[in-house]
Amino acid sequence: MTTRLERLRADHAPALLAFERENREYFARSVPDRGDDYFAAFADRHRALLAEQDTGACHFHLLVDERGELLGRVNLVDVAAGSAELGYRIGERAAGRGAATAGVEEVCRLAAAEYGLTGLTAVTTIDNPASRAVLRRTGFTVTGETVVDSRPGLRYRRGLDAPR
């Protein structure tokens, strides 16, 4: 599967809203549901994310396939002191096909080359073996235990090579 990351833009709003609606039940199986307010106020939320991205505090990306179909989201949040927290969600139709691994690898490249970051952190629940496998495959190592929405979890870190 060929994928690419696109930095979040205003014109992504309709496709992103459709993606979130289509995958709402699927995502709720492994992470807390966003709630009805998320969908009702989606346009305002999207504008707020773009404004936050403009400050450099976050970098939001959509993962798309060769046809431009939205497969998932791969984000870097809480950018500070050369580091950021990685978060991602891949839609049900693309799950298990390497999309998450490809998206995380690409955002790691961007984080170093474009955003000047030197390290990334991530967290996932222990009962999410797919996410743990993606982090392991993309060079993240466990740094400790945590709690994610009242569920046992793990913290991860990955150092990033300086761009060449």
Q: What is the CATH number of the domain that holds 34?
A: 3.40.630.30
Q: Is residue 164 part of a domain?
A: no
Domain count, the chain: 1
Question: Mean pLDDT of residues grouped by 10 in the chain (164 residues)?
Answer: 94 97 91 89 97 97 95 97 96 94 97 96 93 96 93 96 56
For residue 74, what pLDDT is reported?
98
Q: Is residue 7 part of a domain?
A: yes
pTM over 0.95: no
Q: Is residue 92 part of a domain?
A: yes
C-alpha angle 125/128/129, rounded to 5°? 125
- Domain coverage including residue 115: 3-159
CA distance 8 to 73: 9
Q: Is residue 128 part of a domain?
A: yes
CA distance 40 to 42: 6
Could you tell me if 9 and 70 are in contact, meaning their C-beta atoms sit under 8 angstroms apart?
no
Q: Is the dihedral of CA 12, 157, 25, 34 positive or negative?
A: negative
Q: Is the dihedral of CA 20, 25, 31, 37 positive or negative?
A: positive
